[in-house]
Amino acid sequence: MKVLFANSPVYRSSNCNTNNNFKQSAIHTVLDQLPSRLRTKIYAAAAKLNPGAERRFGVRAGSRWPWVMVSPPGSPHYPFFMGYAAGQLADKSMFDVDIIDYVAQQRFCYKTFFNDIQDRHPDILVVEFSSPTSDIDQYLIQHLNQLLPNLKIILTGAGVTPNLQTELNEKELSVHAFVEGEYALSIEKAILGQSGRFYKGELLMDLKEVAYPYRAFPEAALYFDPTMPTAKPQLQIYGSKGCPFRCTFCSWPQLMYTRNVVLRQPEEIKAEIEDALKYHSYKSIFFDDDTFNLDTKRVSKISTMLGQIGLPWTWMGRLDCSPNWLYDQMISDGCVGMRFGVETFALEPLKAIKKGLERSDFEAELRRICNKYPDIYIHVTMMKNMPKQTQQDHERDMQIMRELKFTQDTSNPHRTFQLSDCEPFPGTELFTEVAAGNVQLTQIQPSASL
């Protein structure tokens, strides 16, 4: 049985949207045949020359918060849920498994994507569904129902809910199965089960007992987080899965893991790195965890192990989880970059979103690391419009970013930050609170200094 996991293009414009059934001109087909670097340059140039076209390129699978931007986003995210599910099936002889990722390929033509699916002749197509890409995802299902009526489509991802099943059934879109939450251990049951079923995904609680994420496909060498610009190819891997903190806005810990956490030991991680190197010649490692630096002793041992492997490595986590000496050790052991989810330095809005601080001097720690290690890549994720956030809070946040030489572009690649709007994703605690009128989002004006 041939099972294909697919991450389709995410593209909209004033001429390609729900109003015209996402029809694209022939130029998109031509562009999809060009080398990716040239293709992205042409799209970026077109966005500048004709901003009225309102072109938006985005990401879906692999992203905690699917998003769009005015130019092609690169290949930022390895799709871990797909990877683990594909790895599970690939271990079994009855399944012929593969992954195609048009976002990673930076290809944006829907016609090319449909032709690719047709040429591969899958029996099962597994795709992720997200709220921000709902219009595109429904269009894809509708078109594939017409093009390949015998194809069984399985919907997964953070956007899958019982309400979605009801909505798509009312629209007479044919979906073989829905899997809510993490799906590596439930995908086989969904494939072999009766059509129309809705499954609550079984949690993956012991990564030692399952196959490694699937990497026997070309795009596995393309994933690259631009905020951690280490040598390519960049291996994206888990040091842990899930997060114990209860941030009300955060999607995956609530919707995919239901607040459960799995901490991996150094020997497990080392074995997966060695396995991944059989498929691609990775030159650096990025730990794309929800919170990498959980359990100080464990992280210290992981750091020592990575120092022995010798590849430069980076990670995503929190500023308030580790003592000063652990940051120093990691850098000594070859860590060249860190991503921190800060949101704001103001304590009141952090309390409102239940950030759950482990140490309140995280601003001082950021200053210490920045001053002591000027050549380390540090990326900070900031947020505005949070509950109880004031304009003064935001202005102070931006002042700290300026003082520490952080930029929103790549003019200083060692100090970058992103500023996102606080967006309540369906299914999260924040969404429920806002919908019930119990919490109000603020309307922060852009800082005059940006």
Rounded CA separation 100/216 (Å): 11
Condensed to tens digits (0 to 9), the pLDDT of residues 407-421 reads 998 889 999 999 999
pLDDT at 268: 97
Q: What is the dihedral of CA 33, 38, 43, 47, to 10 degrees?
A: -160
Would you mind telling me the total number of residues written for the chain in this entry?
450
Q: What is the per-residue DSSP string for 305-350?
A: HHHHH---EEEEE-TTSS-HHHHHHHHHTTEEEEEEEEE-S-HHHH
| Angle (nearest 5°) at CA 206 between 6 and 76 | 35
The residues with which 241 forms a beta bridge, in sequence order, are 262
CB 160 within 8 A of CB 190: no
Four-way CATH pick for 224-435: 1.10.4160.10, 3.20.20.70, 3.40.50.720, 3.40.50.12160: 3.20.20.70
Specify the residue for token string 């995904």. Answer: 201
The yes-or-no verdict on residue 450 having pLDDT over 70 is no
Q: What is the CA radius of gyration of the chain?
A: 22
Rounded CA separation 59/288 (Å): 16
What angle do helix axes 266-276 and 296-309 make, rounded to 10 degrees? 30
Write out the residue limits of the CATH 3.40.50.2300 domain(s) in the chain. Answer: 2-200
Q: What is the per-residue DSSP string for 218-244?
A: GGGGT---TTS--SSSEEEE-SEES-S
Q: Among 156-160, 285-289, 300-304, 360-364, which stretch is predicted with the lowest mean pLDDT?
A: 360-364
The yes-or-no verdict on residue 379 having pLDDT over 80 is yes
Average pLDDT over residues 360-367: 89
CB atoms within 10 A of CB 8: 26
Average pLDDT taken over every residue of the chain: 95
Topology at the third CATH level for domain 2-200 = Rossmann fold (3.40.50)
Please name the residues in contact with 55: beta carbons below 8 A apart, sequence gap of 6 or more.
11, 12, 13, 43, 46, 47, 70
The yes-or-no verdict on residue 331 having pLDDT over 80 is yes
Write out the residue limits of the CATH 3.20.20.70 domain(s) in the chain. Answer: 224-435
Q: Among 70-74, 77-81, 403-407, which stretch is predicted with the lowest mean pLDDT?
A: 70-74
Average pLDDT over residues 30-45: 90
Q: CA dist 447 to 88, 391, 394, 397, 422, Å?
A: 48, 9, 7, 10, 16
Condensed to tens digits (0 to 9), the pLDDT of residues 274-295 reads 999 999 999 999 999 999 999 9
